[in-house]
A and B are shown apart, each in its own frame.
Chain A
Amino acid sequence: MSLRGKAAIVGVADAVSPTGELDQHGRALEAAVIKEALDDAGLTLADVDGVCHATSSVGLAEYLGIHPTFTDSTNTGGSSYEIHVEHAAAAIAAGLCEVVIGVYASTPRGDRSRGRQRSFQRPPGPNPMVEWELPYGMRMPMGPYALAASRHMHQYGTTSEQLAEIAVSTRAWAALNPRARYQDPITVDDVLASPMQSSPLHLLDCCLVTDGAGAFVMTSAERARSLPKPPVYVLGAATCHDHSMISQMPDLTTTPGAVCGPNAFRQAGVKPGDVDVLMGYDSFTITALLHLEDLGFCAKGEGGAFVEDGCTAPGGSLPMNTNGGGLSYTHPGMYGMFLIVEAARQLRGECGPRQVAEAEIAVAHGSGMVLSVMSTLVLGAEGALS
């Protein structure tokens, strides 16, 4: 059974601020974006019978006072939300539930400035990472991505200038988004002049640290057509992971997106050339570059040359990360939710100055942990189904 066209995203919401900081946090913030997404969908909490949350779907459901028949606490880091959509689409298609909500909220800046305890804890006792990686002082999370970038440069001649072009193009999108954290244009020279972190990654090759929250509502394609907003159909969804620690990644220049990307495209019956908007998780510039290759927008090793002429910037042939991305819009830690929210808004034509004309097919490609867990959603407007 294919998932194509069986379920749809019918409501989305996100909370971000150009200051990088939000007033609310925790469950209250989650509840606020859920309310907004349900309003957007024209549904109420009473309609909800499925819940996705990357750490505690059971706790969330209790807080909201609902009794779901579908629950998913899958946590793969930043790609968790793409996987939640995949699982929810499958559950809806199988009749396990009818209306599913997914939510994410994280407020690292607000927590720091207000002295709130963060809940993150390192896993206890001996585990492979504590034993085999942490003793060597690799900075997290940029160290593993720096290793991947170094290998890509060595193997394919990719340059810092080419990586910088991704940051520049993404900032150009952010300049069109009044809700983005950073909106001032930057140049390749600005990126190269920003302080080196873990070489070859400069500060402006790295994503932001901001507060943020987002939510989605999904239901069956049939019910979606009775709701006020145009449905955003799940055309294809696929996931793959091949390591947990960077030192166990089979090939530092190829992510498991090379498996799940083509799988999702096949299911959707579309090709990379059909994609109007690519939301490709940009924790670092190298992350986005690897997605371009692994999803088949260009050949392996040619990502640097592909981005060089600014083709992912506004007006380019492949609009990428049109909200301004993790590099310039927001990045609260597990950014995958925002890929889904922006893809849905583009397909509904709600993006104002940054709207991609006649966007019918969008891809939200999540990346979790250290290039470990990839999950690809191919999403489409009504016209993509015919």
Chain B
Amino acid sequence: MKRIEPPVGEAAEPFWEATRDERLILQWCTACEQPVWYPREVCPTCLGDTLEWRDSSGQGAVYACTVEHKAEPPYVVALVELDEGVRLLSNVVGSPPDQVAIGDRVTVTWEPLSDGRNLPLFELVN
């Protein structure tokens, strides 16, 4: 797959900076104690603007997945539900695509981008 490298949105600068050290961080609203994904200026639950960045476990499970069969080679696009409760779109790599199933436990892994940032991907646990 030829990657479209993600731009850095204003609200997500700390997120992308952390990826340089292979750290997955998530915003939390300090008012209502909810995790916020994707990064924004205000909490989508209470509109509070006191958001703080906390380390994510990087652990989760596959919530939904598809194999892009027209690609050569085919690859997995998945919605990963982190243990913190938010869902990220990503790829599950490191296993044959047909081995990846909903409910599988996954952990974050990193793919370098051209500017020193890293893109969070996931791989099956075990």
Chain A: CB-nearest residue to B7:
A126
Residue contact A147 to B6, C-beta cutoff 8 Å: no
Contacts of A127 in B (CB 8 A): 9
Contacts of B6 in A (CB 8 A): 130-132, 134-135
In the complex, A186→B78 CA distance in Å?
Answer: 31
Residue contact B4 to A130, C-beta cutoff 8 Å: yes
Residue contact A151 to B69, C-beta cutoff 8 Å: no
Residue contact B7 to A131, C-beta cutoff 8 Å: yes
For window 112-147 of A, CB contacts with B under 8 Å fall at 125-128, 130-139, 143, 146-147
Is B5 on the interface with A (CB-CB < 8 A)?
yes
- Contacts A128-B38, A154-B103; is A135 near B69 (CB within 8 Å)? no
Residue contact A247 to B87, C-beta cutoff 8 Å: yes
Most-contacted residue by chain B among A143, A196, A197, A198 (CB, 10 A)? A198
Chain B: CB-nearest residue to A250:
B87
Chain B: CB-nearest residue to A201:
B66
Residue contact A137 to B1, C-beta cutoff 8 Å: yes
For window 85-126 of B, CB contacts with A under 8 Å fall at 87-91, 102-103, 119
Contact with A along B1-24 (1 / 0, CB 8 A): 111111111101000000000000
For window 13-59 of B, CB contacts with A under 8 Å fall at 38
Contacts of B2 in A (CB 8 A): 137
Most-contacted residue by chain A among B38, B68, B78 (CB, 10 A)? B68
Contacts of B10 in A (CB 8 A): 126
Residue contact B103 to A135, C-beta cutoff 8 Å: no
A146-B66, A198-B67 provided; 18 other pairs, C-beta below 8 A?
A: A128-B9, A130-B7, A131-B12, A132-B38, A135-B6, A137-B91, A138-B66, A138-B68, A139-B71, A147-B77, A147-B78, A148-B64, A150-B66, A150-B102, A200-B66, A246-B79, A247-B87, A247-B89
Q: Pull 17 A–B residue pairs with CB atoms less than 8 Å apart, ordered by A.
A: A126-B9, A131-B38, A134-B4, A134-B6, A135-B3, A137-B4, A137-B77, A139-B70, A148-B64, A151-B63, A151-B64, A196-B67, A196-B69, A198-B77, A247-B87, A247-B88, A252-B63
